[in-house]
Structure 1
Amino acid sequence: MSRTDDLPVDAVLDASGLNCPEPVMMLHNKVRDLAAGGLLKVIATDPSTRRDIPKFCLFLGHELLDQQEEAGTYLYWIRKKIEA
């Protein structure tokens, strides 16, 4: 278990069973509703999220705190950027 497993999250997005591009589309909507600086945990089963979610964060300025893979499930902890 890593330190991120213990972080209190503000929201959870369960995109299990969904394939590209649905997890990232759902992530985009979920992040929009989150307060600046909020922490979102994403649960996905699509291996393409390993590429798509880090790119999403980089492109939009959100912080990908951690990503883990566990028996075909991909977990991501994303801190929403704080508007300048």
Structure 2
Amino acid sequence: MTVPEFDAELDARGLFCPEPVMMLHNRINDVEPGHLLRVVATDPSTTRDIPRFCQFLGHELVKEEEQGGEFVFLIRRGEA
């Protein structure tokens, strides 16, 4: 059995701006500070919006990649 590389996940596939970031804003509050949230989205605007969200609210964007038309983000929740 492998240990997951994240603590929680948000599936925002099929949603368009501003829904993925609105959902992220709510979901990140369910994650303990320092823990990791994995976000999967299909809207290309998330590649702009999610990094800005993290920068503005003090979360760390640990990883960002595209996998077969899906955008995958790994976010470490900040202390605030």
Determine if the alignment matches structure 1 residue 47 to structure 2 residue 41.
no
Hey, what's the Cα distance between the residues in 1 that align with 2:5 and 2:66?
A: 19
Amino acid at match of 1:34: V
**1:69 equivalent among 39, 59, 66:** 66
Amino acid at match of 1:13: L
Hey, what's the Cα distance between the residues in 1 that align with 2:29 and 2:79?
A: 12
1:66–1:7 CA distance, 2 compared to 1 (3 A): farther
**Partner-residue secondary structure (3-state), 1:8:** coil
Determine if the alignment matches structure 1 residue 23 to structure 2 residue 20.
yes
RMSD, matched Cα: 1.3
Hey, what's the Cα distance between the residues in 2 that align with 1:74 and 1:57?
A: 15
1:79 paired residue number = 76
Hey, what's the Cα distance between the residues in 1 that align with 2:34 and 2:77?
A: 5
Shift of 1:38: 1.1
Between the two proteins, the alignment pairs up a number of residues equal to 78
Q: TM-score, normalised by structure 1?
A: 0.88
* Unmatched tracts of structure 1, length 5 or more: 1-5
**Partner-residue secondary structure (3-state), 1:65:** strand
Hey, what's the Cα distance between the residues in 2 that align with 1:12 and 1:40?
A: 5
Identity among equivalent pairs (%):
56
**Partner-residue secondary structure (3-state), 2:62:** strand
